């Protein structure tokens, strides 16, 4: 098995380490805080992000990136999207020249509008055959509880995607391959913003019609942006698109949907951010995706309305009223 490093001991970095260990790999997990790493090593549990779940003995944690990255052939990146650049700048000189870099992150960088694989390419100087993405309907806690789920391993090089598919396939985690990295990343990122909108509808007390309408029109927005950026629309009908959108918009475990629900109930962005350590990526990606859509001449009204809500330019009720009152149009296109 290839020597594997996972950078980021939050919910998903830790849960994916468990998947990799279940698939037969020894996993070296980097955590930012020494006390979290010590707890993982001493108790085989990440009490902060996955309390009550026993991690396999093959997962060892450290807060020293040089140690974790030494000779790692596969490097999994699982920090919050807006924190990837400063971290990878510091880690880049520890990376092997032939290491395959796997992003678990679902975000678009503020300012540059780069997808995570593009930030990795820029900072690590890696070609597309060394950069992959794992994405899909994969709520960390369900995966860590070994409930069944499917996912997508995307890499421009199909053979690399197949290698990685074998590397993380377990009896309960079923990865599919895809060479459409753009579509997979956009699906995973945009669904976070759509889940914020669904959460707002939940918080306002609306029912399943509202939820289904936002999910479906959200998928239409995602597909429009994807096609403008060269994605295969079938990717967005798959696990990385519709699959993740449905899971995230339906689940009480989703941080993005829950964040939106709290907004809908009247909490402010600052109050919600202060109430949790966990990242709801859509809060920041709403602006970067909105700007990306403008740059590509794509209309994304739900994303734009969520971005305006997050900036404090409208209230939840105004957001809903404004979306429903938009000029009538045909459903397709
Ligand atoms: N949690 C899930 O169910 C899930 C599933 C699929 C994908 N993802 C994606 O994985 C990525 C990581 O999410 P997560 O769920 O593990 O987040 P999390 O909020 O559970 O944990 C975030 C981790 O990042 C660390 N961190 C915070 N600020 C940092 C900084 N400045 N530098 C380095 N590390 C920092 C925290 O200490 C923590 O270990 C996100 O892009 C998320 O969208 C999450
Ligand atoms: O908890 P969320 O909203 O960040 O969603 C987690 C995963 O992305 C679901 O696939």
Condensed to tens digits (0 to 9), the pLDDT of residues 147-183 reads: 999 999 999 999 999 999 999 999 999 999 999 999 9
Strand positions, DSSP E, 37-108: 59-62, 74-77, 100-103
DSSP character at residue 108: B
Query: At 81, is the pLDDT very low, low, confident or very high (cuts 50, 70, 90)?
Result: very high
pLDDT of 332 reads 87
Cβ atoms of 145 and 170 within 8 Å: the answer is no
Q: What is the residue-averaged pLDDT of the chain?
A: 97
pLDDT digits (tens, 9 = 90+) for 233-286: 999 999 999 999 999 999 999 999 999 999 999 999 999 999 998 889 999 999
pLDDT of 204 reads 98
Which one of 186, 255, 257, 285 would you pick to mutate in the ligand 2 pocket, going by the greatest count of ligand atoms within 8 A of its CB?
255
The greatest distance separating any two alpha carbons of the chain, rounded to the nearest whole angstrom, comes to 60
pLDDT digits (tens, 9 = 90+) for 103-136: 999 999 999 999 999 999 999 999 999 999 999 9
- Closest ligand by atom to 285 CA: 1
Closest C-alpha to 94, from 132, 68, 121, 128 = 68
pLDDT of 279 reads 87
ipTM over 0.95: yes
CA of 255 to the centre of ligand 2 (A): 6
Residues ≥6 apart with Cβ < 8 Å to 52 = 45
CA of 331 to the centre of ligand 1 (A): 36
- Closest ligand by atom to 91 CA: 1
pLDDT digits (tens, 9 = 90+) for 192-216: 999 999 999 999 999 999 999 999 9
CA of 243 to the centre of ligand 2 (A): 12
Please tell me the pTM assigned to this model: 0.98
Helix runs in the chain, H state only: 11-22, 34-43, 65-69, 84-91, 116-124, 140-144, 158-168, 181-203, 208-228, 233-236, 244-250, 255-264, 269-274, 282-295, 301-310, 316-324
**Antiparallel, parallel or unpaired: β 131-135 and 100-103:** parallel
Ligand 1, CB cutoff 6 Å, lining residues: 8-13, 31-32, 49, 78-81, 83, 87, 104-107, 138-140, 278-279, 281
Closest C-alpha to 256, from 325, 170, 192 = 192
pLDDT of 151 reads 98
Structural domains in the chain?
A: 4-179 (3.40.50.720), 185-324 (1.10.1040.10)
Task: Examine the pLDDT at 1 and tell me if it is beyond 90.
Answer: no
Q: Which residue's CA is the nearest one to ligand 1's atom 34?
A: 79
Percent of the chain with pLDDT over 70: 100
Which one of 175, 244, 279 would you pick to mutate in the ligand 2 pocket, going by the greatest count of ligand atoms within 8 A of its CB?
244
- Active centre residues (catalytic): 191
**Antiparallel, parallel or unpaired: β 149-155 and 131-135:** antiparallel
């Amino acid at each position: 098995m290839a020597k594997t490093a996972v950078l980021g001991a939050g919910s998903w970095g830790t849960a994916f380490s468990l998947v990799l260990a279940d698939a037969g790999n020894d996993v070296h997990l980097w955590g930012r805080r020494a006390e979290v790493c010590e707890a993982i090593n001493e108790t085989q549990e990440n009490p902060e992000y996955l309390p009550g779940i026993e991690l396999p003995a093959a997962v060892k944690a450290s807060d020293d990136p040089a140690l974790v990255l030494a000779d790692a052939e596969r490097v999994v990146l699982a920090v919050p999207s807006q924190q990837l650049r400063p971290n990878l700048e510091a880690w880049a000189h520890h990376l092997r020249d032939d290491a395959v870099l796997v992003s678990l992150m679902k975000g678009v960088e503020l300012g540059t509008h780069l997808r995570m694989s593009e930030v990795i390419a820029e900072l690590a100087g890696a070609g597309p055959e060394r950069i992959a993405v794992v994405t899909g309907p994969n709520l960390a806690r369900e995966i860590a509880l070994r409930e069944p789920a499917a996912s997508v391993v995307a890499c421009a090089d199909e053979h690399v995607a197949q290698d990685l598919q074998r590397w993380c396939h377990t009896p309960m985690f079923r990865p599919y391959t895809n060479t459409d990295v753009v579509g997979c990343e956009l699906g995973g990122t945009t669904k976070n913003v759509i889940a914020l909108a669904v959460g707002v509808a939940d918080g306002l007390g609306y029912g399943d019609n509202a939820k289904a309408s936002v999910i479906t029109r959200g998928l239409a927005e995602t597909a429009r942006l994807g096609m403008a950026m060269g994605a295969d629309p079938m990717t967005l009908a798959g696990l990385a698109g519709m699959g993740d959108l449905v899971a995230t918009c339906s689940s009480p475990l989703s941080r993005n949907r829950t964040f939106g629900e709290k907004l809908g109930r009247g909490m402010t962005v600052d109050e919600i951010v202060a109430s949790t350590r966990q990242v709801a990526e859509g809060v920041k990606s709403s602006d970067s995706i909105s700007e990306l859509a403008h740059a590509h001449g794509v209309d994304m009204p739900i994303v734009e309305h969520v971005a305006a809500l997050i900036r404090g330019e409208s209230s939840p009720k105004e957001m809903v009223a404004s979306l429903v009152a938009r000029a009538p149009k045909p459903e397709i296109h």
